[in-house]
Amino acid sequence: MCIDVNEAKLAKLRAGEVPFFEPRLADLLKRNWPHRLDFTSSLPDGIRGREVVFVAVGTPPQEDGSADLSYVLGVAEEVAKAAEHDIVLVLKSTVPVGTNEKVRAVVERFAKHKISVVSNPEFLKEGDAVNDFFKPDRIVIGTDDDRAYELLERLYSPYNRQRSRIQRMSPKSAEIVKYASNAMLATKISFMNEIANLCDVAGGDVEHVRLAVGSDERIGMQFLYPGLGFGGSCFPKDLRALVRTGADYGLTMEVSSAAVRANEVPPKNLIAHMERDLGGLGDKVIAVWGLAFKPKTDDVREAPGIKMIAELVARGARVRTTDPQARDTARESMTHMGLMDRVEIFDNEYETCRGADALLLATEWNEYRNPEFPRVRELLRGRHVFDGRNMCVPSAVAAAGLAYRGMGRPTLGY
């Protein structure tokens, strides 16, 4: 039973429509509704007779970077008041250390039955969430309650048939794990972007450096891709929340703070290159491929492509853009940002190039990896391609008569 306050969203779900894009999720919904899956806006009805209740509400960032726990604590209070029997309340939302204690204090104040609060952070990547859920690297369960642990162990048993992926620990350790994991991955991205910048100014090819560094099995290849930086709903928010949590405990999270600052640099560097290469951006027309913060999602929260468009517009440019999935979410976001009077969104990537002075690749969708560059050259008014994700073969771009600039890669065709 899935519970939400948004009746319009529930109506879509009952009609077999997922309100956002995530591969394979719509198929799962259609296969399981209504005989194994249902939806309601009534929390008392939704939790009646249930042994486990998951809290998966948002924890949006506040102005100081800390996580807003009002939704988590509000749901906990509602569950405590509505519970008609013992329940295990599982915190799936990404929350700072100490939240489990705060939730327990709330439920103890209002509950008439025993409510065990368990910290069970999720580690799902947007664009591959279903696969991550079915084949998890680890299942972290933070609880001191043996009965609650045994119940979750049974619940997750289908995903532990080959080997146990469950790691039991204290609630505080479980809360730290999620932030620590995201901070480590984001730091790898920021570090590689710094190396790309070094290659750019000192001479070198970051692609060669990346492959050699990643060949060290202690380091590995994952998240060693330089580009326009990380975005989305997790990395930026979680890093700032981790930094704020450290400050609350009197600690300066030096590495995480540096990763946050470093993430702002790549878009600024590429904008500076674009201004120099194009002789300024005033009244220039820029085609931008990619609006989602990463492929296989329509999520544009803190998307580097949107940030680049905002900077281009601020410097007087006009933008023609597209994305395989994020056109509607981007239009909503850019309308809110006041950008749409200088931005046009198209269904076809080649149409964005018509009459444009340059092409910017902002999201590494497979569709954009090997386009028809001669066609791009024919449609562009200018001849510059700015590869913000290092996803093209530079020689293929140059062979079409275009000028190529990547992130920390040698330029071609200049």
Residues carrying an active site annotation: 234
Q: How far is CA 97 from the centre of its chain?
A: 21
Nearest alpha-carbon partner for 363 in 127, 24, 20, 128: 127
Spatial strand order of the sheet with 358-361 comes to: 343-345, 318-322, 285-289, 358-361, 384-387, 403-405
Q: Is the dihedral of CA 164, 169, 175, 176 positive or negative?
A: negative
At position 266, the amino acid (one-letter code) is P
Cα 118–120–125 angle (5° rounding)? 165
16, two tokens? 């077999």
> Mind spelling out the 3-state secondary structure of the chain?
CEECCCHHHHHHHHCCCCCCCCCCHHHHHHHHCCCCCCEECCHHHHHCCCCEEEECCCCCECCCCCECCHHHHHHHHHHHHHCCCCEEEEECCCCCCCHHHHHHHHHHHHCCCCEEEEECCCCCCCCCHHHHHHCCCCEEEECCCHHHHHHHHHHCHHHCCCCCCEEEECHHHHHHHHHHHHHHHHHHHHHHHHHHHHHHHHCCCHHHHHHHHHCCCCCCCCCCCCCCCCCCCCHHHHHHHHHHHHHHCCCCCHHHHHHHHHCCHHHHHHHHHHHHHHCCCCCCEEEEECCCCCCCCCCCCCCHHHHHHHHHHHCCCEEEEECCCCHHHHHHHHHHCCCHHHEEECCCHHHHCCCCCEEEECCCCHHHCCCCHHHHHHHCCCCEEEECCCCCCHHHHHHCCCEEECCCCCCECC
